[in-house]
Amino acid sequence: MAVSDPQATTRRGLAGRLPAFPWDALATAKKRAAGHPGGIVDLSVGTPVDATPASVQQALIEAANRPGYPTTVGTPALREALVDFAGRHRAAPAHLGTDGVLPTVGSKELVAHLPFQLGLGPEDAVAFPHIAYPTYDMGARFIGAESIAVDMAALAAHGDAALPDPSAASRIRLLWLNSPSNPTGDVLDAAQMAAIVAWARERGIIVASDECYALLPWTVDEVPSVLDPRVSGGVLDGVLCVYSLSKQSNLAGYRAAFVAGDPQLVGELVAVRKQAGMMLPGPMQDAMTVALGDDAAAAAQREIYRGRRDVLEPALRAAGGEIRGSQAGLYLWTTFAEPAMSTVDRLADAGVLVAPGMFYGEGGDVFVRVALTATDERITTAARRLERL
């Protein structure tokens, strides 16, 4: 009789609680698209393809000789730049200080580990948008907590009645907002966000708002922040804004992001992250400081994406697609009134790879997410192929 290995069981424990990595399901479609005579146009993942701003590259070069350890909280210059950026672009109140900001090693690691770093456990629940970036759910699964998918617009309007189980409100300790949404591009207005924050505060729920697409608005005048006094009431208690420079400044490879908000919560994160050695490399801290102040580069990149959107949007409509949401961000949330994988396969035959909407929740089963992150030449090629469908 074989003797079981308890250590092997432990090693398999966490992995056994996780679903298959969704992007692996695209391997066949990607291979088919790559076989197109004109090559693949990959509009699935959404990774930046344009140059990192020259100012940031130069800052990285100048910071290359950095033999010592960096700090978890960041250099004084970086922390001041974070406060300044949050004030200029996320409407943070004047009393946000350096004790309320913290650089992170990209935003995904923070999203995935925030429930753990805030001390949540298996008896708790994490709520997040019902169509959403899968990592909100993963953060709950990592600690064995309950995952609760919620229609956030309905929550703003109806409170507890919008929950799948109204009694779940007593178990929720962390609620994620994502506006503009990945994948739908929907934007919550200030009144909706304020209603959600008020609801959460009444129940002692922390609100973390993932706002990494906020500087890419298209059909709305603004993308409000959880730090905005219209939303937070001018106080930062219980709210955190999570932001990334990957999109606006082409810094995905730098892993440059930050969290800002309630100084007490930020302090808890600092204490845990110091113990875990989670710190942005020193040269990256200097480069990030420069990127935060280079508004011209971010504005220029936004116009590049606007041009690509203007090419791709009518082509999707010409191919029979209907675009929903997509008010801001890097994606066109599109349905062809058929199962998502049918669309993926059909577009792959034309050499265009897109992401199926069910990666982001059951509500995405007839949608595909089409990214704007390809070169002008590839976007134009995709548009021509779509128009011939």
Q: How confident is the prediction along the chain (389 residues), in pLDDT tens digits per residue?
A: 444 454 544 456 677 767 666 667 788 989 998 899 999 999 998 899 999 999 999 999 999 999 999 999 999 999 999 999 999 999 999 999 999 999 999 999 999 999 999 999 999 999 999 999 999 999 999 999 999 999 999 999 999 999 999 889 999 999 999 999 999 999 999 999 999 999 999 999 999 999 999 999 999 999 999 999 999 999 999 999 999 999 999 999 999 999 999 999 999 999 999 999 999 999 999 999 999 999 999 999 999 999 999 999 999 999 999 999 999 999 999 999 999 999 999 999 999 999 999 989 988 899 999 999 999 999 999 999 999 98
Asked whether 161 and 191 are in contact (CB, 8 A), the reply is: no
| Tokens read off for 7 | 């250590």
Q: Is the dihedral of CA 326, 332, 337, 341 positive or negative?
A: negative
Q: For the chain, how many helices (H) and strands (E)?
A: 15, 13
Superfamily of domain 11-51+297-387: Aspartate Aminotransferase, domain 1 (3.90.1150.10)
Q: Give all strands (DSSP E) within 116-203, no chain letters.
A: 125-129, 146-150, 172-178
**HSE (side-chain half, CA atoms, 13 Å) at 263:** 9
| Tokens read off for 39 | 């090559």
Which of 106, 127, 105 has the alpha carbon at shortest distance from 115? 127
Residue boundaries of the structural domains of the chain: 11-51+297-387, 54-293
Structurally, at CATH architecture level, domain 54-293 sits in 3-Layer(aba) Sandwich (3.40)
pLDDT in tens, 158-186: 999 999 998 899 999 999 999 999 999 99
pTM: 0.92
pLDDT in tens, 45-69: 889 999 999 999 999 999 999 999 9
The three-state secondary structure class of 234 is: coil
Q: Give all strands (DSSP E) within 274-371, no chain letters.
A: 322-324, 331-335, 352-353, 355-356, 367-371
